[in-house]
């Protein structure tokens, strides 16, 4: 009776062992399949983020070129502007006082009137030119601020993409190690 019991126990143990091995093999296959699919998903995602990162870098460099081009064209435009309100280098013809001559009351009134009018016009022109220049400076300041804001936004997006890529790279390495650990078992 002892022999039959030991045979029964041996066969039961062998049967349970076979069942556990089958379960372990299925679990291992499922785990490998799951790890493999996650690994492929992460590689695909990392590839997409890498492409996004490259396109963002290209956009940033294009924006930099565009900003520098705009700044250079604005500088050139400012340099090409005519100097407005320039004062005449010589007194008005026929209305000026000669050096060394003594003004008479009649000649003083008639000679100063055109000079005063000319100076008043020059002052008005200069004030108008100053207003135009202030407006242009304001426009340039606004454009420069917008360019800086755009560049800051692009840099921030680039950093975010770099962070996502780094996180995905870490996950890929982790899954790869898990797969290698499963394969070595």
Domain range annotation of the chain: 2-94+103-184
- Burial pattern 131-153, b for ≥16 Cβ within 10 A else e, equals eeeeeeeeebeeeeeebeeeeee
Per-residue pLDDT for the chain (185 aa), expressed as one digit of tens each? 455 555 688 888 888 899 989 998 998 888 888 888 888 888 888 888 778 778 877 877 887 787 778 777 777 776 776 555 444 444 444 444 445 555 554 445 556 778 888 888 888 888 888 888 888 889 988 988 998 899 999 999 999 999 999 999 999 999 988 888 888 87
At 123, list the tokens: 């002052």
This prediction's pTM = 0.38
């Amino acid at each position: 009776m002892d022999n039959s019991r030991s045979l029964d126990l041996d066969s039961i143990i062998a049967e349970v062992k076979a069942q556990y091995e089958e379960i372990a093999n299925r679990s291992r296959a499922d785990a490998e399949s799951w790890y493999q699919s996650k690994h492929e998903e992460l590689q695909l995602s990392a590839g997409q983020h890498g492409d996004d990162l490259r396109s963002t870098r290209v956009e940033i460099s294009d924006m930099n070129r565009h900003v520098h081009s705009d700044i250079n064209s604005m500088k050139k435009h400012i340099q090409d502007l005519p100097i407005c309100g320039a004062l005449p280098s010589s007194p008005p013809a026929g209305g000026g006082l000669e050096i060394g001559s003594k003004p008479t009351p009649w000649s003083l009134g008639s000679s100063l009137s055109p000079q005063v009018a000319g100076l008043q016009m020059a002052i008005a022109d200069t004030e108008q030119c100053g207003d135009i220049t202030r407006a242009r400076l304001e426009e340039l300041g606004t454009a420069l601020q917008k360019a800086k804001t755009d560049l800051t936004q692009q840099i921030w997006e680039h950093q975010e993409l770099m962070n996502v890529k780094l996180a995905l790279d870490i996950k890929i390495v982790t899954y790869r190690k898990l797969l290698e650990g499963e394969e070595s078992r």
